[in-house]
Amino acid sequence: MYEKVNAKEFFNKVLSGTATGIIVGLIPNAVLAAILNLFGDNPTAIFITQAVVIFQVATPLLIGALIALQFKFNPLDMAIVAGASYVGSGVTTFNATAEAYLSKGTGDLINTMITASIAILLTMFVGEKLGSVKIVLAPILIGAGSGIIGLLILPYVSGITAAIGSMINSFTNLQPILMSALIASFFAVLIISPISTVAIGMAIQLNGVSAGAAAMGVAATTIVLVVHSWKTNKSGITIAIACGAMKMMMPNLFRYPIIILPAVVTAIISSIPVALFQVSGTPKSAGFGLVGLVGPLTSIDMGDKSISLILALIVWFVIPIATALLTRFVFGKMLHLYDEKEVFQYLA
């Protein structure tokens, strides 16, 4: 029997599985790529780079498996959902010229989620009706069937997400400071919500200053939570937040929405140098912020759009930390808008 869930629970399970799958799939290449580039043409560095890129290509597969795990599927059903998700993502395509199957990037993550959802629903509908032939028919009917549906809708879904990304990126070029502030604020709130910032950044293909602003929004919230947490929570909680577990504070967001005030203000102020100095990023770095130093390392390694190490330290650390400390003093100590020992106390 499969667990019955309502629409909200279904959506949250898909989002949760997607968020974990993206982080697992992208972290190795996101963190190691910039470091390994420093070794130039060293054969060992190139070999490791190739390995983590191949690992990244498996991201849709990981997402499908982890979404299925959210629904407590058995190993067979989990494998079927994972396979369908991989196919529907479009990460691997057939190239007629080369007469070979080629893989690139992570595919379309929104379409991956849609394909996984179709496979989940079909699995729940079919259930155990296939009986003893399930191991033969389920991979064909549910796995390949969902994958084919995913491939059919892929061009339309990709077109919509690409258009959204292009619109945001073009707005950033027209109004860099305003749009950087808006994007940074949006991602500053998202990082402590159930929604994955990495998934959003990848899905709408943020790049350039847009991606830099998004990463700065995540970084700003990380620093704000650390600054408000070090005298409130146990050191392990503060360290976990600093290492990337900002979503631990989701219960606080819903119980005490005031916590977004210092985060958003810090994000807005920290986004100004992003626009002024053209601090850029990629769709992969947009949602990570300071996790694994992905945001800073990417901005340093952007070719003709790269910034210096000194500027990166100022933009990514000095300004956000100074602003976070200032917001803590002004909002908490001076204006008494909140009691940090209550509002930022880890609730789980």
pLDDT band for position 348 (cuts 50, 70, 90)? low
Does residue 260 register a pLDDT over 80?
A: yes
pLDDT at 294: 87
**Mean pLDDT of the chain, nearest integer:** 89
Cα-Cα-Cα-Cα torsion 301, 304, 305, 310, nearest 10 degrees, comes to 60
**Contact at 8 Å (CB) between 215 and 287?**
yes
* Residue 339: CB atoms within 10 Å: 13
pLDDT above 90: percentage of residues in the chain: 54
pLDDT in tens, 54-70: 998 999 999 999 999 99
pLDDT above 70: percentage of residues in the chain: 98
**Tokens encoding 92:** 């691997």
Helix (H, G, I), strand (E, B) or coil at 259: helix
Does residue 281 register a pLDDT over 80?
A: yes
pLDDT at 265: 97
Most confident of 15-19, 241-245, 296-300: 296-300
pTM, to two decimals: 0.71
pLDDT in tens, 148-194: 999 999 999 888 877 776 777 777 777 889 999 999 999 999 888 86
**Sign of the Cα pseudo-torsion (192, 25, 199, 7, in order):** negative
**Tokens encoding 209:** 């200053």
DSSP label at residue 208: B
Does residue 34 register a pLDDT over 70?
A: no
Mean pLDDT of 91-118: 89
pLDDT band for position 279 (cuts 50, 70, 90)? very high
What number of residues does the chain have?
A: 348
| CB proximity list for 13: less than 8 A, separation 6 or greater | 5, 67, 70, 71
pLDDT in tens, 190-212: 888 867 687 778 777 788 899 99
**Tokens encoding 137:** 């028919």
